[in-house]
Amino acid sequence: MHDDRVRRISFRQSRRRTAMFVALICAAAPAVAAAQAPIPVLAGMSASASSLRDSIVALARAQIGTRYRHGGATPKRGFDCSGLVQYVMARFELVLPRTARAQAAAGLAVDRDTALLRPGDLLTFASADKAAISHIGIYVGDGHFVHASSVAGHVIESPLNRAPAPKIKIWRGVARVPMLADAVPTIGFLATPER
């Protein structure tokens, strides 16, 4: 008797799950159709890369104001610079390592010419006295980038022509996440920081 009751309950739960799944699929169909509508793109960039870049920028900007926390990698706990980059990219299934240096190494190096920058590119910075990368942010377009600033105490948007912090003076390079790469010339990072 007990086994029959368990089977009936289990069968009902299974039918409910199936019905919920079908309802979710049907509810998502209009959104999927809208997502398949033509998207205006920049010359030389695929529609999917352009749309993905726009989404990355929107999510990065949505984190502005989130507190800075060394080692932080979530909006609830706070972000450090590489935690912010990792969090934003992971939401779009772009898996990056945890540290700024490792994230830069995982990307494709791009010429530092600002005309070649694309939203979603990772901008790397070094201290004036060291060649090692010590800070990273996400380029959002129009000469600005979003980054978790220990000096400001939260995630901010800054102009590229201003140093992110007093000790971080050198714009070291650009790393493009391979999924976001398009036909743009790539080069290696600078061997030594500019003085």
* Active-site annotation, residues: 81, 135, 147
DSSP letter at 62 equals: H
Place of tokens 């159709």: 33
Single out the residue of 163, 173, 16 nearest to residue 110, CA to CA.
173
All residues at 6 or more sequence positions from 31 whose CB lies less than 8 Å from its CB, including other chains: none
Single out the residue of 183, 177, 181 nearest to residue 90, CA to CA.
177
Q: Long-range contacts of range 76-80, CB-CB < 8 Å, 24 or more positions apart?
A: 78/148, 79/148, 79/155, 80/148, 80/150
Angle at 118 between CA 112 and CA 122, to 5 degrees: 65
SS3 of residue 84 by DSSP = helix
- H helix or E strand, kind and range, residue 28: helix 2-35
All residues at 6 or more sequence positions from 15 whose CB lies less than 8 Å from its CB, including other chains: none
